[in-house]
Amino acid sequence: MAMVISKRQLQGGDFDAWASRFAEGAAARRAAGCRGLRRFRSTEDPNQVFVIFDWDSHENARRFIENNQQAIRARDPGAPAPDIQTWYVDEIDALDA
C-alpha cells in the first residue's frame, strides 16, 4: 500500500482553522487518489498534528502534496512556509499487538 505520513506543526491556536481547511480538501484528495486517512494530535503539543494517508500510488500522493504545498504558499506569499514533514512509505503488514 502507498502510504504517506505527514507531521505538521501548527501555529498556536490554529487547530480549528487547519481542521476546517483540511475538511474542505476531502473531495480534492479523493479525486487525486487518496483512499482514506487517519489524523492524530500530539498529547504533549496540541499544535502538532500527524496524518496518515492511504493513496492509490506514491506518484499521485507526491503530485497532490507538492501541488497543495504550492497552493498554500501562493495564498500568502509573504508568510513563512508551513512546517510540514512528509514521509512516503509502504505498509508491510498490520499486526494485532
User: Predicted confidence band at 11 (pLDDT cuts at 50, 70, 90)?
Assistant: confident
What is the spatial distance between Cα 6 and Cα 95, in angstroms, rounded to a whole number? 22
- pLDDT tens figures, 37-64: 999 999 999 999 999 999 999 999 999 9
**pLDDT at position 23 over 80:** yes
∠ CA 3-5-10 to the nearest 5 degrees? 150
**pLDDT at position 76 over 90:** no
pTM of structure: 0.86
- pLDDT of the residue at 79: 72
